[in-house]
Structure 1
Amino acid sequence: MGPTELIVILIIVLVLFGGAMLPKLAKNIGQAGKELRAGLGDDDEERDRPTDGDDHRR
């Protein structure tokens, strides 16, 4: 995505949500991304954890 597309998207978001809502919207998006990365990291830890020998059957 080029800079022109990003500017167009930013203008559309500004028109839809208004200037007062942008900081709150950006904060919520940032928190959602942080939780997503944390959730994906938890999945890696779960997969790498050793299990009992009986768990190898599927």
Structure 2
Amino acid sequence: MIDVNYSGDKVDIGFNSKYIIDICNEVDGDEISISLSDSISPAIILDKTDENLFFVLMPMRI
């Protein structure tokens, strides 16, 4: 189960679940921040406990 706090406009976007799992396995903390601008731009994923760790993830066409 993933709890989500969301603000902003609705965005329909899809990601490869393997990449999401890989990122979650690399993060030490329990919280990440995912920044989205639109459905075709990359997502920026930040580890909330390590400001030096971030990931860029390209969306899939849905």
Shorter-chain TM-score category? under 0.3
When you count helix as a share of all residues, which structure comes out higher? 1
When you count strand as a share of all residues, which structure comes out higher? 2
- Rg larger in 1 or in 2? 1
Per the normalisation by structure 2, the TM-score is 0.25
